[in-house]
Structure 1
Amino acid sequence: MFKPYNLEEGAYLVKLARRAVEEFIKSRRVLKPPEDTPSRLLKDNYGVFTTIETVKENGTTELRGCIGFPRGNVNTARATINSALAAAFDDPRFAPLDPSELDSVLFEVSVLSPLEEARFSSPRELVNMVKVGVHGLVVERGMYSGLLLPQVPVEYCWDTVMYLDEACEKAYLSPECWAEEGTRVYVYEAQVFRERRPRGEIYERNLLEELNRCHFEER
C-alpha cells in the first residue's frame, strides 16, 4: 500500500493547498513552499491532485474543482501549490473560486504513486488486476487521455468494469475502449488527506473501509 507520508505531513499538504488559494486571492501572488515545510515534502516529487468541494446546507458536498499532475516533475509541496491553484481557478467546468466561498469548501489532497502500465493478455485479466479502493486509472489512446482518482469509484460504488468504462468516457472515448487493442491503461495508488469540515480537522481517507460501507449500504 502506497503511504509515503504520515498524518502530520498530509495535514500540512492540505493546509498548504488552502493557504496557496487564499494567498492568491488576497495578493495574486503564487505562494512558495514555506520555511517550515517538512523536508520530505521538498525532496519527493510525486504527482498531486487537489480536489475542492462545496459543503451544502444539508451537509452533502458537490465538486467545485479538481485538477492535478499525475507525473511528478516538481517536489510534492510545490506540486500541491500548483494543483490547488489550478483546481481553484483553472478548472474549465467551474468559474474561478470566489473569496466568499472559502469558508464553505473542503480541500482534499491526493498524493499519487508513479504510474505503472497494466500488462494484460485479455480483458478479463485486466478486470482481475484493477482493484477498486486501491487503484487509480489512466486510460490513453492516441491523443486522448483520461484519469480517475481511486476515491471516485468508491464514492459512486462502481464495480471494476464500470470503473474502466468511466475512465474511457473521461478520455472522451467509447466506454469499452479499455478492452480494445491500442488502448494503454495505467494504474497507480494514492494517499488521500481531507478536511472533515472547512478549515477543520484533517484525516487520511481509508478507501477500502469506505468501499465496504458502500457495499453494506447497498444491501
Structure 2
Amino acid sequence: MSTVRSPAVAGTFYPADPAALERAVDDCLDRARVEPLPAKAIVAPHAGYVYSGPIAGTAYAAVLHRADRVRRVVLAGPAHRYPLRGIAVPGADGLATPLGVVPVDRAALDAIADLPGVQTLDRAFDGEHSLEVHLPFLQRVFPDAAVVPLLVGETPADMTERVLERLWGGPETLVVVSSDLSHFHDSDTARTLDRATSDAIEAAAPERLSGDRACGVMPLAGLLRRARALDLRVTTRDLRNSGDTAGGRDRVVGYGAYSLEPAEEARLTDDQRRLLLDAAMAALRHRVERGVTVEPEADAFPLPLRAARRTFVTLDLDGSLRGCIGTLEPVDPLVRDVAANAVKAAMQDPRFAPLSAAELARVSLTVSILSHDRPIAFTGEADLLAQLRPGRDGLIIADGTRRALFLPKVWDVLPDPRDFLHHLKAKAGLAPDRETGTLRALRFTAETFGTA
C-alpha cells in the first residue's frame, strides 16, 4: 500500500492555501533576473518564502526551460531537527504539499540502498523543512518529475559524493542542494561572510566551508566534489540576506542561488563579455597611456563577473602574439583578474618589450576563463596523446620543478597532438623525446572570447 508524507511547514514557511502558494512561487520565478542556463545542478535556500523565496526563485528560473526534460530531481538538504549520522531517505511513496503529491522515485532509492551511510529513517523527516520548502517550486517548474529526497547529516564528503554519483544520470536528472548561508549577524557582516562562502562554492572548495557559514555544508561538500571531478563551473546567481528581502538588518540570514554547469557549455552572456572586455581595455589604456594601474570596482559588475576565476589574457598585435599572462589559482574576482592580466600581458611578458601607446590601437585582446584541472592517468606518451582532445583541451605538464601550460587556443597553431605535446615539453625546458615516466599531466577547458 502506498504511503504519502503530509507537509510539516505549510502555513508557516509557505502558504497553506493552494492558490496563494501558486501565486507565491510564480511571483518568485517571475521576478528572477537570470538567463536560461545549461545547469546540471543548482543550490537554493530553504527559509520561509517571504525571506528566501526570491533567491530560490532565481535558482529555479535558471532551469525553467528544462521543464520538458527533467523527470527526476535529486533533492539533498541538511537535517535541522534530528541528530542524523549518514544519509536518511523516507519510506513514503509520495511527499504532499497543498499543491498535491510529489512522487518519490523509489527505484532510485533502491539503487542507493546498499551504499554506506544510506538508511531509511522516517523520523529524521518529522518537522524538517529543508527539503519540503523546495517541493512547491518543483511542482510548478517540473510538474512531471519524481523526487529523490536525501537528508544529509554528519557524513564524510566522499560518502555523499558516491550517492550523487550513482544518481547523477543524464539530462533527465537535476540535482538540487538546499542550503542557507550565515545566520544572525548584522547585514554588513553577513554580506562579507556570504561573499567569502560564495567564493569557496564557486571554487568548488568544500574544505573552505563550515556549518556556521552554510547549514547545508554536508550535501554541498559532496556536490562540489562532483563539480571538480566532472569539470562543472559553479556561479553565484543571487546573493542576498533577509535584510534585503523582508526582515530587519540587525540579525539576518544569508541566502545564495548557485548554478553548476558543464564547463564546456558554461558561457557568460554577450553583455557580460562586453563589460569584461571593456574593463580590461580600460585598465590597459590607463597603464599604457598614463602609467597608472586602475583596478575595476568588482561590486559594480554583475555577480558572474565577480566570481573568483583563473584566467589568461592574450594580446595580439596585427595578428601576431604580443603577450600572454594568466593566473593558475582562482583568487580575485573575474573582472579584476582579467584587467590585471591584460596589464601584465602588455607590460610584463618577458618575451616582449612593454607595449607602447603607439601600438595600443592595433592590439586585440582575448580572454580565456579556465576550468578545473583534472589529472590524466596515462601509461606512456602514446597513451597520453591518444587521450588529448584537439581544440578542446588545455594541457599542463609538470616534471619535478619544471612546469608549462598551453591554452586550448594553442591548437589553432599546433593542431597535431604530437607537435602540441613536444612544444609544451620544450616550453617546460624538457627535451621533446623525454620519456614520460615521471611526467604529470592535467587537462582543463576554457571559455575563450576577445575583442576581434
What TM-score range do you get, normalising by the shorter chain?
A: 0.7 to 0.9
Aligned to 2:347: 89
Q: Secondary structure at the match of 1:108?
A: strand
**CA offset digits 1:75-97 (Å, max 9, x no partner):** 21111022111101000111111
Q: For residues 38-49 of structure 1, what are the structure 2 equivalents within 5 Å?
A: 38-42=302-306, 44-49=307-312
Q: CA deviation at 1:129?
A: 1.5
Larger radius of gyration: 2
Counterpart pick for 1:64 among 322, 330, 336: 322
**Counterpart position of 2:283:** 20
> C-alpha separation between the residues in 1 aligned to 2:265 and 2:400?
29
- Following TM superposition, by how much is the alpha carbon of 1:122 offset from its aligned partner in structure 2, in angstroms? 3.5
Tell me how many residue pairs correspond in the alignment: 188
Aligned match for 1:117, one of 372, 375, 387: 375
CA distance in 1, matches of 2:387, 2:372: 17
**Which digits, 9 at most, give the CA deviation of each residue in 1:40-72, with x for residues without a partner?**
111x222111111111xxxxx111111111322
Please give the alpha-carbon distance, in whole angstroms, between the structure 2 residues aligned to 1:176 and 1:88: 33
CA positional deviation for 1:11: 2.4
Spell out the pairing of 1:154-173 with structure 2 (5 A cutoff): 154=412, 156-173=413-430
Aligned to 1:37: 301
- Of the three residues 378, 392, 400, the one matched with 1:134 is 392
CA offsets, 1:100-158, max 9 Å, x none? 1111111111111121121123333322221010001111111111111111122x242
Match of residue 439, structure 2, among 160, 183, 189: 183
Aligned letter for 1:132? Answer: P
Change (3 A) 1:46 1:2: farther
CA distance in 1, matches of 2:289, 2:400: 41
- Residues 139-189 of structure 1: per-residue CA shift (max 9 Å, x gap): 1111111111111122x2421121111111111111144x51111111111
1:146 aligned partner = 404
TM-score normalized by structure 1? 0.79
Counterpart of 1:14 in structure 2: which amino acid?
L
Conserved? CA contact 2:391–2:415, under 8 Å: no
Contact 1:11 / 1:193 at 8 angstroms: preserved in 2?
no
Stretches of structure 1 that go unaligned for 5 or more consecutive residues are 56-60, 197-219
State the one-letter code of the partner of 2:405: L
